Amino acid sequence: MPTYISLCRWTVQGATTIKESPARLDAAKKSFAEAGIKVLSFYMTTGSHDMVIITDAPNDEVLAKALLSTISKGGITTQTSRAFTEDEYRAILKSL
């Protein structure tokens, strides 16, 4: 399954209701699991992003749908990238 790294920021709405953030994370994890997405890691971070979420998903479309559903609730924004494992990286470069 492809791996994805999502860099997240709280919106003004999300920051205003910050104490509800753990419950929102639990709801997102449940929704992701129902869509076949596995949350591998979650980190609250300092710097330019507030959170990093690492997931495995069946494909781009499944992940996009889950993320769009999550951000439509207004608590966070996301910037997500497909992450390639070292083995995938080596195979891609070998094929050049």
Q: Which helix (H) or strand (E) holds 57?
A: none
Q: Give 45: exposed, middle or buried? Use CB within 10 Å, 0-12, 13-18, 19+.
A: exposed
SS3 56: strand
pLDDT computed for residue 63 by the predictor: 98
Contacts of 74 (CB under 8 A, 6+ apart): 11, 13, 14
Domain that residue 55 falls in:
3-94
pLDDT in tens, the chain (96 residues): 999 999 999 999 999 999 999 999 999 999 999 999 999 999 999 999 999 999 999 999 999 999 999 999 999 999 999 999 999 999 999 999
Alpha helices by DSSP H, the chain: 12-16, 21-34, 60-71, 86-94
pLDDT computed for residue 54 by the predictor: 98
Give the total number of structural domains in the chain.
1
CATH number, domain at 84? Answer: 3.30.70.920
Could you tell me if 11 and 72 are in contact, meaning their C-beta atoms sit under 8 angstroms apart? no
